[in-house]
Amino acid sequence: MTQPNRDLYQAGAALCDYVATNLTKALEHVQRELSTLDGYGGGSDPGMKVTASSELTSVERTADARWAMTDAREQLRDLKAQVLVSIRELNEYINEVQRMRVPKVVVKPEDKKRDLCCSNQAGKEGVLEWGDPLCMMPGVKGGMCQAHYFRWYRHRADKGIDVTKDHMPA
């Protein structure tokens, strides 16, 4: 098994070990400070003290401090949400990339010898229902690829068209 991507592995470890705990501590700190501004608890905590200013009244200073703390809390929450969305989008794109496959047959436009499925579907019964005009797989049976031949076969069988001749030896 290959080693995990080193950058993402380190980022994940930092996210688990440091960012998650520090974010929790920061949000708890903001909540304590907001409670102090509201007059609850914090009587013995000398953490935040509003000093007199000639420009603002005490109510205005408290409101200003409350706005700054609330803004900081909301920015922390928004940044956390962005990180979670980014991680989810990265994971979804990784899964999409892992499902990608290269075409099994590379068809060059100048290759006229190859019998392609898309060129042999025209005129077949129900081609609008089962056909694919972009199929570049080589023709196997009836000039079509395996998948489209079986779709054509099932379509004819469902419509009551005789398909017994398809399995006769040549």
Which residue did the predictor score with more confidence, 98 or 164?
A: 98
User: pLDDT value at position 106?
Assistant: 61
Indicate whether 52 pLDDT > 70.
Answer: no
* pTM exceeds 0.75, yes or no: no
pLDDT band at 48 (very low <50, low <70, confident <90, very high): low
Q: State pLDDT tens for residues 101-149.
A: 776 666 565 555 557 888 888 888 888 888 888 888 888 887 888 888 8
Instruction: Spell out the domain ranges in the chain.
Output: 6-99, 117-167
Q: What SS3 string covers the chain?
A: CCCCCHHHHHHHHHHHHHHHHHHHHHHHHHHHHHHHHCCCCCCCCCCCCCCCCCCCCHHHHHHHHHHHHHHHHHHHHHHHHHHHHHHHHHHHHHHHHHHCCCCCCCCCCCCCCCCEHHHHCCCCCCHHHHCCCCCCCECCECCECHHHHHHHHHHHHHCCCCCHHHHCCC
Residue 18, pLDDT above cutoff 70: yes
